[in-house]
Amino acid sequence: MATNGELIFNGTDKLITSTAKLINPPNYNDDKLGEEARQNALLDKIRKRSKQSKNWLDLAKLSRTFLNEKRLPTINDQQEKSQLQRCLDTIQKSIKVTSLQSMIERLETITRQLGLKFMSINQVESSDKNVFISSDMFYVEVNLNLSGYVNDVKIAHSSDAVSCAELIKVLRDADFVEFNKHLNGLIEIYRLSADKSKKSKAYVALNSLEQDLNLLYRLQSSNINEPNNLVHKSPVGILEPRKGGCPMKLTYFISPYDLIDEKRRLSYPLSIEIITEKQLGYSATVCLQNFDKSCYKLQTTPLISTTRKSDGKNMPINAPLTNSNSISLPACFALKLSESLPLSIEIIEKIKQANNGLDVIYDKEISSTSQSLISLLARKMLSKKEFTTKFKSPEDPFYVELPDQSHTYYFNRSVSNIEGYEVTSIPFIHPTSVPQILILLRKQVLFNVLVGSCIRQIYRRDELNTNISSRTDSRPVMFEINASITSINVSFEHPVEESLATIDFDLEELTNIKAKLNDSDSFSTYVSDEHVSLVMQRCFSIPVTMRSVIKKCQDKVALLKEELRKKQAQLMEIRPNNLQSENLNNSSSMFDQQPMLSNDQSERNNLLNNYQQHVSTLANNQKVNYQQSRNYSQQQQLYQQAKSNTMLMTMLSDVPAANSQASLNNKPNSYFIQQQQQQQQQLNTVNNTNNQSTVVQPKVKKQRKSRKNQDFQY
């Protein structure tokens, strides 16, 4: 029987001839007989060598060895196998599940990726098929019919399997990404450094804690109905119970900006349904945190019960941890934050006090040491490129551009010196620690949101002037922020006066932020504390609030100026012929020569000055004549004329400045408020004087002596 080597070279004469030519090219000068002899000799030589060749398996092994020698030494068959498996899994994800076989293959792929066990069993009594995905501590049972439709999904821990509606919906929708999350959540429950007997107690402890938190949520829901208070003032916020493998979730803070859909350009109403459906706000999940070197007592039964008060309301009663209701495990409960959160050292210390000294879990990828809280917030608010290339110091200016204003914010050294950490989770032991932790988290998040609203763009000091000058609108308004965790102080130039103004924001009560405006007494004329507080409560943004303050002041001043101009226009319309003095009527001819509202400011001022001097002279002469006169009727006439002339002289003293636009713009804004009140009083006095009759009142003889000695005090 021919060997593998002989089979390779057996073939037609044409193939043999071609092979011989390649090995030993023929000499075309020889005759045909000599050529055939050489070919036969060559074939004999090849046949002899074929007997010495190795079998097919040896050749394959030699080929693989040769290929491995040509590659890098770090690459091996296991790496190639895993790489090939990942490619196959990627292809598997792209295949649409339309049959029983494709469903089983997809579930098997997910099971293998998570390191779990997979088993498929046919039911004897029916044509359905059961698929089991299991570990040492739990299993998931999926019941499928012949078409691949999911009939039921059950989860079993240390007790009987319980049907799970969430997993049924997930698999029927073919949402395998979400199914993967559920399986990961089940695995995390038992990720402890302990034996199987203690691991089995982990789910019992976690389930007991969830029952206590559910009880607190039911109690708070019966007393608090408003969604805003339910999120920000209730003990556990908005609670979403465990769904399959997804842990319990507590939503404890909602910013107004969280309710804005930028893509659709609309704002959602604040409701429990919207928050849970859209996954809005700041939240934390309740889970177990593994500790390798420490053991803590964790509850194995619910610790919170209720009692009914005399008014019919239920109140919670907390039970302490004892040996009978707890077990020692190398783990503790934890609030795992939805995203890492910058916490100040002050808040961290308060959390430790409320949590029996347990420290928080830091994000070691960012830093294992404390950093400035402004730096941590800038890392979150700015883009990665802008933070790494332009952020140098917490004291650098931050630039905020609004539709009609430009702001530049500087943080005081007291703010930049606040140190903090980036925190990922907060461990705790007793369920009563959860409300205290959430109160502190809300304070920190409110501070972060308000301060973070000022961190939009950053410019280095050598770039600031260039960026400002490139804008076509007015120069940006400068603000300085001095803050602590419970209060924020904003200093800025008064919007309409040349003075410094400050606004204090009290952050003690999250649902009722109080603002206090501090400067001269005129601030309350432009904008009220209640208005600023309302704006801040609705937006949780310092730039938006300051924009509202500036705009409100400017609008108020513009309104006051307009009202003052109208009053002054009424004064300018008063003509001398309204007075009762005959000499004053004759002197009005000087004003008939030129209009009162002349375009030439100097001519108008000279004309008014001359008229003012003339009126003053008439008033003095009438005063002397009054004192020398013995006729009562003449005294009455002189008295009314002198009073009208003196009042008109007082009003005319303000007319030149009032008619000058430049003078108006240079006046402080308190001037417009005073002038508005004075001009109204003057107009009322002049109108009453001009309309007053000179008829002698009764009992003239009794008044005559006193009036004769009466002196004019104007």
Token pair belonging to 126: 């029916």
Structural contact between residues 315 and 307, judged by C-beta atoms closer than 8 angstroms: yes
Residue-wise DSSP of 253-293: E--GGGGEETTTTEE----HHHHHHHT-SEEEEEEEEE-SS
Structural contact between residues 585 and 579, judged by C-beta atoms closer than 8 angstroms: yes
Has residue 88 got a pLDDT over 70?
yes
The verdict on pTM exceeding 0.85 is no
Task: Tell me the per-residue pLDDT of 147-205, one tens digit each, with 9 for 90 and over.
Answer: 889 999 999 987 788 999 999 999 999 999 999 999 999 999 999 888 888 888 999 99
Instruction: Please give the Cα distance from 491 to 518 (Å, whole number).
Output: 9
626 band by pLDDT with thresholds 50, 70 and 90: low
Task: Tell me the per-residue pLDDT of 484-502, one tens digit each, with 9 for 90 and over.
Answer: 999 999 999 888 877 888 9
Instruction: Mean pLDDT check: name the lowest of 399-413, 614-628, 665-679.
Output: 665-679
Instruction: Please give the Cα distance from 647 to 618 (Å, whole number).
Output: 12
pLDDT for the residue 172 = 93
Residue found by looking up tokens 């009939």 in the block: 151
- Residues pairing with 317 in the sheet: 305
pLDDT for the residue 254 = 95
Task: Tell me the per-residue pLDDT of 466-476, one tens digit each, with 9 for 90 and over.
Answer: 554 444 446 78
- Residues pairing with 251 in the sheet: 238, 283
Has residue 687 got a pLDDT over 60?
no
Backbone angles phi, psi at 631, to 5 degrees: -85, 125
Q: Name every residue whose Cβ is closer than 8 Å to that of residue 445 and which is 6 or more positions away in sequence.
A: 252, 253, 282, 341
Has residue 577 got a pLDDT over 90?
no
Has residue 557 got a pLDDT over 60?
yes
